[in-house]
Amino acid sequence: MANNEYDAIVIGSGISGGWAAKELTEKGLKVLMLERGQNIEHLKDYKNAHKENWDFPHRDLPTQAMKLDYPVLKRDYPLNEKTLGMWANEKENPYVEDKRFDWYRGYHVGGRSLLWGRQSYRLNKEDFEANGKEGVGVDWPIRYDDLAPWYDYVEKFAGISGNRDGLDVLPDGVYQPPMPMNIVEKDVAARVKKAFKGTRHIVHGRTSNMTESKPEQGRVHCQYRNKCWLGCPFGGYFSTQASTLPAAVKTGNLTLRPFSIVKEILFDKDKQRATGVEIIDAETNQTYVFKSKIIFVNASAFNSAWILMNSATDVWEGGLGSSSGELGHNVMDHHFRVGASADVEGYDDKYTYGRRPSGFYVPRFRNWGNDKRDYLRGFGYQGGASRSGWQKDIAELGIGANLKDAITEPGPWTIGMTAFGEMLPHHDNRIYLNKKVTDKWGLPVLAMDVEIKENELKMRKDMQQDAMDMFEAAGLKNVQGWDADYAPGMGIHEMGTARMGRDPKTSVLNAHNQVWDAPNVFVTDGAAMTSASCVNPSLTYMALTARAADFAVEELKRGNL
Amino acid sequence: MERRELLKLIATATGTALFAGSAFAYKDIAPVPLSDTLFSKDDVALLNEMAEVIIPQTDTPGAKAANVGATMAVLITDCYTPLLQKTFMKGLKAIDEVSKAQFDKHFLQLSTQQRETLFNQLDVEAKAANLANGVYQGVETGKPSQWEPGTDEPTPHYFTLLKQLTLYCFFTSKVGATKVLRYVAIPGRYDGAYPYKKGDKAWAT
């Protein structure tokens, strides 16, 4: 190819890759964004966005054939007709489970920004300091104040709705008005506040579903259809397609190349700099080389580590960034699928209108303030109250008109919440290359060796019991705790495989997300996380990316890269 | 040179964003014709008649009006395990046999009242059988796709399978969701204290 040189290459087009492309192109760099999967064009390719259940031949249910095709995906809720094709083809993209690991991958332009949960919270001050104080993993090389202005910056652009609650544990951001709580949630929130004397809070969920339109981005506020995963025809929530990609395209500085699997980052060992990447065209199997001054690795936590492991292996056997001995290690997720539900009496004359794609949030209260437990860190809850629909339990109902009448009326109010717990970084929770197994393109695959340990298991007891206690204390009836079991990966929050740190001997990245061994390579997705916090992580990837991009361009100008 | 290659070259050379091809994500899944199912037109008619006993037409349409039989045929064929299929097929025969034993008629020859009597009986029998076999509570409004080959999860009574399919196919149908339940495609707002009075219908989703 005649012209294969760029100022910057961004590997991956999901939440963090989209941000890298936007920031770098807006700062005037010519950017090539590489995506291993197909293109999905905003609006045009959201083919199911206006379809209803009855438009799907199996009414959205997985078929036995689909289950055979997706042996991992079928383990949890994401396997359905509406989003079929939006998850990585498991036959073409195998991986090895030394221990069970549920890996849910979105291999297409936009990545999981089209499939995410959209809950958007900031890490708090303590989250950045706890590792150092407690001697867990390594200390974050940055503090909350380093990231705070970048949280402001990305929240404002992405459009996050939420309430400013004034809680240290859940720092407030730049928000649009929150999605409302319903009448029952408000009541239970007030009762919980009273019962726990202001130490536990039920607050509005903070979500990238907008409550105010952004005409400058061509985005309309959320229409309460709750069909986010089908691609939003209104651009009502943050995705690469709705938000960062149009901004990057508008600069005229972006080239997006789908079907481009990055095989390795090319490394000049004399200059100690990356020079570009080699890719395989996923459709033609041909390889191409693209050159650039800087590289942003945003392939999702595990695949970013995979790329590093396959790069500069002539210098370091374990790949670029492996000199620390930490590349691929310290895998974290959020452990969840445990919580409680309860019946709420009264409010028979109230119902809800609209399908709110969010709910309430209970910020962490364990090991916070004066609270001390026999484990470290804590968890938050996400939940909601509603009246059941036709899916309610009808064990007492027979057949015919009586059944029809009863089942078509809403049931009483119920409330439920699920805990999301912090997982500690452990060196021996790791992923590594298994060269005996290859994917469709002959590339070695990842092996997963990750488990939750004692700290998480102890925490899970509180995660269930505390939820029950809160509902009991609020005077709710028929309180039931549950633990539906968790396998690593199910949180779809993979983190930690190329962590940031203060010392090249114990971390892969420095305080600006530069690979210690190749300062013109930046990793700003989940791989960079030094600890997991218990809040949903994507907003932090956005902020880290914008911050690193700003730094990268300044360093380029200074001639340091 | 392939057109795609050319497009890539142009895009690379011009530095404009490349939007190649059409996505096959968000798959456009084609309807399943009856010929691809285990059922005939007569079978679908029979399934509709049976489903109508469970969800009859009242002041709103019933199962037959939603043609749930056609969807049941597809779900049984594609979403069921072989074991479940067998259980269901044997169940259809069993219904007819009970019908003959009790009323000396085929199911389709029964009066509406006789059908109700028969199904009320079977519903009671099914609930007891499920309880004895350890089938999970709430199975009647569960999803017909939740069983897998080789699972040790107990198989529900055949009548429960019929009832579950009827409810699922009915309430996910356009008729069931929009004419019997309530459905608004684009609500546009959220009201967390929306007025409700007894008799108002539930939202479909």
Whether residue A340 is predicted with pLDDT greater than 50 in this model: the reply is yes
What's the average model confidence in pLDDT over A493-521?
98
What's residue A235's pLDDT?
97
Residue pLDDT, tens place only, A136-189:
999 999 999 999 999 999 999 999 999 999 999 999 999 999 999 999 999 999
What's residue A302's pLDDT?
98
Q: What strand order describes the sheet that includes A413-421? A: A203-204, A360-362, A379-387, A413-421, A338-344, A477-483
Kindly report the nearest CA distance between residue A250 and chain B, in angstroms. Answer: 10
What is d(CA A315, CA A324) in angstroms, rounded to the nearest whole number? 13
Contact call for A59 and B202, based on CB within 8 A: no
Q: What angle do CA A114, A417, A331 make, to 5 degrees?
A: 55
What is d(CA A126, CA A381) in angstroms, rounded to the nearest whole number? 18
What is d(CA A488, CA A149) in angstroms, rounded to the nearest whole number? 32
Residues of A in contact with B54 (CB under 8 A): 399-400, 403
The overall average pLDDT reported for chain A is 97
Kindly report the nearest CA distance between residue A208 and chain B, in angstroms. Answer: 16
Residue type, position A544, single letter? L
Classify residue B54 as left (phi > 0), alpha (psi -120 to 50) or beta.
Answer: alpha
What's residue A269's pLDDT?
96
What is d(CA B148, CA B151) in angstroms, rounded to the nearest whole number? 6
What's residue A492's pLDDT?
97
What is d(CA A252, CA A254) in angstroms, rounded to the nearest whole number? 6
Whether residue B24 is predicted with pLDDT greater than 80 in this model: the reply is no
Q: Which of A86, A248, A259 sits opposite B25 (nearest CB)?
A: A86
The overall average pLDDT reported for chain B is 90
- C-beta of residue A8 within 8 angstroms of C-beta of residue A31: yes
Residue pLDDT, tens place only, B123-151:
999 999 999 999 999 999 999 998 988 88
Q: Which of B4, B123, B191 sits opposite A398 (nearest CB)?
A: B123
Contact call for B17 and A391, based on CB within 8 A: no
What's residue B23's pLDDT?
56
Whether residue B90 is predicted with pLDDT greater than 50 in this model: the reply is yes
Residues of A in contact with B12 (CB under 8 A): 1, 3-4, 255, 257
Chain A nearest-CA residue for B75? A58
Chain A nearest-CA residue for B20? A39
Could you tell me what percentage of chain B is helix, strand and coil, using 3-state DSSP and rounding each to the nearest 5?
A: 55, 5, 40
Q: Tokens in use for A418?
A: 């699920």
Residues of A in contact with B193 (CB under 8 A): 182-183, 350
Which residue matches tokens 């100690």?
A272
Which residue matches tokens 């395990």?
B81
Q: Tokens in use for A118?
A: 């959209």
Beta carbon pairs, A and B, within 8 Å: 256
CA atoms within 13 A on the CB side of A325: 7
What is d(CA A245, CA B4) in angstroms, rounded to the nearest whole number? 22
Q: Is A92 on the interface with B (CB under 8 A)?
A: no
Contact call for B29 and A62, based on CB within 8 A: no
DSSP-assigned letters across all residues of B75-95: HHHHHS-HHHHHHHHHHHHHH
What distances in angstroms separate CA B11 from CA A191, A259, A520, B15, one per listed residue?
60, 14, 25, 6
Classified as helix, coil or strand, A303 is helix
- C-beta of residue A136 within 8 angstroms of C-beta of residue A130: yes
Cα end-to-end distance, chain A, whole Å: 25
Strand partners, B194: A351
Residue pLDDT, tens place only, A523-557:
999 999 999 999 999 999 999 999 999 999 999 99
Q: Which of B74, B195, B202 sits opposite A409 (nearest CB)?
A: B202
Where does residue A560 rank: exposed (0-12), middle (13-18), buried (19+ CB within 10 A)?
exposed
Kindly report the nearest CA distance between residue A6 and chain B, in angstroms. Answer: 9
Closest by alpha carbon to A336, among A455, A466, A460? A460
- C-beta of residue A28 within 8 angstroms of C-beta of residue A51: no
Instruction: Please give the share of chain A, as a percent, with pLDDT higher than 70.
Output: 100
DSSP-assigned letters across all residues of B129-157: HHHHHTPPTTGGGS-TT---TT--SPPPP
Residue A517 has φ and ψ, to the nearest 5°, of: -85, -5
Instruction: Please give the share of chain A, as a percent, with pLDDT higher than 90.
Output: 98
Contact call for B172 and A54, based on CB within 8 A: yes
What's residue A157's pLDDT?
98
Where does residue A132 rank: exposed (0-12), middle (13-18), buried (19+ CB within 10 A)?
middle
Whether residue B7 is predicted with pLDDT greater than 70 in this model: the reply is no
Whether residue A24 is predicted with pLDDT greater than 50 in this model: the reply is yes
Higher-confidence position of A394 and A482: A482
Kindly report the nearest CA distance between residue A280 and chain B, in angstroms. Answer: 14
Residues A360-380 as b or e (16 or more Cβ within 10 Å = b) = bbbbbbbbbeeeeeebbbbbb
What is d(CA A403, CA B101) in angstroms, rounded to the nearest whole number? 27
Q: Is A260 on the interface with B (CB under 8 A)?
A: no
Q: Is A341 on the interface with B (CB under 8 A)?
A: no
Closest by alpha carbon to B52, among B179, B167, B181, B142? B167
Which residue matches tokens 């910057």?
A8
Closest by alpha carbon to A289, among A315, A259, A254, A263? A263
Residue A128 has φ and ψ, to the nearest 5°, of: -80, -15
What is d(CA A311, CA A262) in angstroms, rounded to the nearest whole number? 10
What's the average model confidence in pLDDT over B86-114?
97
* CA A216 to chain centroid: 26
What is d(CA B150, CA B160) in angstroms, rounded to the nearest whole number? 20
DSSP B16: P
Contact call for B169 and A59, based on CB within 8 A: yes
What's the average model confidence in pLDDT over A220-238?
97
What's residue A28's pLDDT?
98
Whether residue B16 is predicted with pLDDT greater than 50 in this model: the reply is no
Which residue matches tokens 């009863």?
A406
What is d(CA A532, CA A493) in angstroms, rounded to the nearest whole number? 9
What is d(CA A334, CA A494) in angstroms, rounded to the nearest whole number? 8
Q: Tokens in use for A501?
A: 């740190």
CA atoms within 13 A on the CB side of A361: 27
CB count, 10 Å around CB of B100?
13
Kindly report the nearest CA distance between residue B104 and chain A, in angstroms. Answer: 23
Helices (H), A70-204: 125-134, 144-158, 183-195
What is d(CA A199, CA A218) in angstroms, rounded to the nearest whole number? 41
- Sign of the four-CA dihedral A521, A527, A530, A534: positive
- C-beta of residue A138 within 8 angstroms of C-beta of residue A131: yes
Residue pLDDT, tens place only, A38-80:
999 999 999 999 999 999 999 999 999 999 999 999 998 889 9
Residues of B in contact with A213 (CB under 8 A): none
Q: Tokens in use for A280?
A: 């395989």
Cα end-to-end distance, chain B, whole Å: 50
What's the average model confidence in pLDDT over A280-287?
96
Residues 6+ apart with CB under 8 A from A472: A479
Q: Is A211 on the interface with B (CB under 8 A)?
A: no
Residue A275 has φ and ψ, to the nearest 5°, of: -115, -15
Q: Which of B22, B173, B185 sits opposite A54 (nearest CB)?
A: B173
What's residue B157's pLDDT?
98
Contact call for A389 and B29, based on CB within 8 A: no
CB count, 10 Å around CB of A550?
16
Where does residue A149 rank: exposed (0-12), middle (13-18), buried (19+ CB within 10 A)?
exposed
- C-beta of residue B81 within 8 angstroms of C-beta of residue B148: yes
Residues of B in contact with A241 (CB under 8 A): none
What is d(CA A163, CA A211) in angstroms, rounded to the nearest whole number? 12
Q: Which of A40, A81, A255 sits opposite B25 (nearest CB)?
A: A40
What's residue A512's pLDDT?
98
Residues of A in contact with B117 (CB under 8 A): none
What's residue A338's pLDDT?
97
Residue type, position B124, single letter? V
Q: Tokens in use for A191?
A: 């009762």
What is d(CA A209, CA A118) in angstroms, rounded to the nearest whole number? 7
Residues 6+ apart with CB under 8 A from A348: A412, B196, B198
Contact call for A393 and B137, based on CB within 8 A: yes
Work out the pLDDT band at B20, boundaries 50, 70, 90: very low
Chain A nearest-CA residue for B148? A64
Contact call for B194 and A256, based on CB within 8 A: no
Higher-confidence position of B146 and A12: A12
CB count, 10 Å around CB of A48?
25
DSSP A167: B
